[in-house]
Amino acid sequence: MPEHETAAEQTTPASDVGRFLHRRREQIAQRWADEPLFRTVFTVSRDEAVEAGRVLVDALAQVAETGRVADTDAAGFTAVREQLTGMVASRARFGLTSGQVSTEVDGLRPPAVTLLAADLPEATPEHLRECTTLLTVLMGTLRLVVLETSLSEGQALIDRQQLELMEATTPVIRLWDGIVAVPLIGTLDSARSQVVMETLLESVVDQQARFAILDITGVPMVDSLVAQHLMKTVAAVRLMGAECVVSGIRPAIAQTIVHLGLDLGTVVTRSSLADALAYALKRLGADIVIAAPGGAGPR
Amino acid sequence: MSGTVAGVEARMPIRSDLDLVWVRQHVRRAAAALGFGLVDQTKLVTAASELARNTLVYGGGGEMAAEHVRDGRAQGLRLTFSDRGPGIADPERALSDGYTSGGGLGLGLGGARRLVHDFSLDSTPGVGTTVTVTSWAVRSPRQREEPR
């Protein structure tokens, strides 16, 4: 077929770079395995680094052949995105910033460009320059893909931590038979207060609690919305047949609540968690008695 | 005292719940930097939280500007919350406790006014609302050394 002939002899910079990457796949992968980016990620064996390098070269060749060298969404990049994510995460664990990882990716460019020049000895200077520029653009796009990956990794980490923080900061503690407490830490926004209410109501059922203590020592500020969340939680606990005590009201918070005009008159409040526990114990019919000196009990 | 205290002046967008967190943190840091006591810090942060939430919920978003103000030797923090929302038709009513056009407790504006030293509300229906509050760091004047 004449068309086939033309395709084989066609020497656009993109197809030349694609063919070069295929032909020199092994050498490029070997050189890259010695670069910091690969050397520090694949520490167990050099073969792993070389293999990862081959996969990356294949991906770049695929991108070059489709001619979309400046497109970070090119199909070739999609194939290696997962591998790049792993490599970026590994470097990030070493404490490298996205910028530093990006610089390491740039370190892959010189070996590839050197090999390209050696691979096209009979090319005209004009054609060689075009091929080099194209390869440089391609490596620049790879750098961008890596940067994107590392930024989306960062966002994913933040989302995950936000969820974990929400779960972690609302533990329900059983203080005594029938008394549970939630130490609240941080700002009580709508999502947090929903989690608090759910976990508290569940534990009121599980523990057959008659008293639930909401300790706000770790809450930096109580505005009308936070107060509204607190009062809703108190009301819900009351509906479950238990009594709610709000403790840990610091002087600054108390003064602020008064100026704000909030009426917490219907809520039992205590200044400290210890006071709240003593109150609940007393209401349960138990009392804390300080043992008389020397009265450790008969043996 | 001349020159401004670092980390006080700022313009911050109020577009999401997350922005409210930055606003509260900035106001607390700025108030602390200007020598506000813990109670006054908490009052101002709470007022800022109420006003910023109003800007977000009723004004559809806007911004807060923080400024360092001085009156003689007194250091103050002025916060301006502005939005281009529907505005408030009846400011007196909006400032009264228990009145809300949303689902809140109706204490935000009135409560914020009681939490700060100076409060001004400027609203034009259809144009927007600007609320400016100022609080002063209460410091005991430095004792002059008595000549012996």
Q: pLDDT for B123-132, tens place per residue?
A: 898 899 999 9
- Identify whether A289 is part of a domain: no
B43 touches chain A (CB under 8 A): yes
Rounded to whole angstroms, the Cα distance separating A52 from A40 reads: 13
pLDDT of residue A3: 44
- Identify whether A295 is part of a domain: no
Sheet holding A268-270, edge to edge: A173-176, A179-185, A211-218, A243-247, A268-270
Residues A189, A109 share a domain: no
Domain boundary pick from A112, A134, A164: A164
Domain boundary pick from A100, A133, A164: A164
Read off the CATH number of the domain in which A259 is found. Answer: 3.30.750.24
Residues A189, A112 share a domain: no
pLDDT in tens, B75-125: 999 999 999 989 888 888 888 777 777 667 777 888 899 999 999 999 898
Q: Do the Cβ atoms of A292 and B145 come closer than 8 Å?
A: no
Q: Which long-range contacts (CB under 8 A, 24 or more apart) does B103-106 make?
A: B104/A224, B104/A225, B104/A228, B105/A224, B105/A227, B105/A228, B105/A262
Q: Do the Cβ atoms of A209 and A182 come closer than 8 Å?
A: no
pLDDT in tens, A166-221: 666 678 899 999 999 999 887 777 777 788 888 899 999 999 999 999 999 988 88
- Identify whether A297 is part of a domain: no
Residues A195, A49 share a domain: no
Q: Looking at residue A210, what DSSP letter applies?
A: S
- Identify whether A259 is part of a domain: yes
Domain containing residue A225: 173-283
Quick check: A223 and B53 CB within 8 A? yes
Is pLDDT at A5 greater than 50 in this prediction?
Answer: no
Quick check: B104 and A225 CB within 8 A? yes
Percent of chain A with pLDDT over 70: 93
Position B16 confidence tier, pLDDT thresholds 50, 70, 90: confident
Helix, strand or coil, per DSSP, at residue A51: helix
Cα–Cα–Cα angle for A59, A61, A65, rounded to 5 degrees: 120
Per-residue exposure over A1-32, b if at least 16 CB sit within 10 Å of its own CB, e if not: eeeeeeeeeeeebbbbbbbbbeebbeebbbbb
Residues A254, A108 share a domain: no
- Identify whether A293 is part of a domain: no
Q: Looking at residue A291, what DSSP letter applies?
A: P
A206 versus A152: the higher-pLDDT residue is A206
pLDDT of residue A161: 77
Quick check: B43 and A256 CB within 8 A? yes
Quick check: A260 and B111 CB within 8 A? yes
Residues A84, A122 share a domain: yes
Is pLDDT at A1 greater than 60 in this prediction?
Answer: no
Helix, strand or coil, per DSSP, at residue A199: helix
Q: Do the Cβ atoms of A72 and A148 come closer than 8 Å?
A: yes
pLDDT of residue A91: 86
Q: Which of residues 2-31 of B touch A (CB under 8 A)?
A: 17, 21, 24, 28
Is pLDDT at A75 greater than 80 in this prediction?
Answer: yes
Residues A185, A151 share a domain: no
> What's the mean pLDDT when you consider all of chain A?
85
Total domains present in chain A = 2
> What's the mean pLDDT when you consider all of chain B?
85
pLDDT of residue A275: 94
- Identify whether A199 is part of a domain: yes
Residues A177, A70 share a domain: no
Rounded to whole angstroms, the Cα distance separating A58 from A77 reads: 10
Residues A264, A221 share a domain: yes
pLDDT of residue B117: 93
Tokens 């992968």 — which residue?
A: A29
For domain B10-136, is the CATH number 3.30.565.10? yes
Cβ partners under 8 Å of residue A68, min gap 6: A74
Most confident among A3-7, A191-195, B56-60 (mean pLDDT): B56-60
Residues A178, A158 share a domain: no
pLDDT of residue B50: 92
Read off the CATH number of the domain in which A23 is found. Answer: 1.10.490.10
pLDDT of residue B11: 93
Average pLDDT over residues A143-160: 83
| Closest chain B C-alpha to A290 CA, distance in angstroms | 35
Average pLDDT over residues B39-46: 93
Quick check: B105 and A255 CB within 8 A? no
A165 versus A93: the higher-pLDDT residue is A93
- Identify whether A85 is part of a domain: yes
Average pLDDT over residues A145-167: 78
Q: Which residues of B touch A228 (CB under 8 A)?
A: 104-105
Residues A84, A12 share a domain: yes
Residues A37, A179 share a domain: no
Position B3 confidence tier, pLDDT thresholds 50, 70, 90: low
Compute the 3-state secondary structure of chain A and give helix, strand, coil in percent, each to the nearest 5. 65, 10, 25
Cβ partners under 8 Å of residue B73, min gap 6: B1, B139, B141
Residues A219, A184 share a domain: yes
Query: Which ipTM score applies to this complex?
Result: 0.80
Average pLDDT over residues A27-55: 89
Position A295 confidence tier, pLDDT thresholds 50, 70, 90: low
What the block records as the tokens of A268 is 């039992």
pLDDT of residue A296: 55
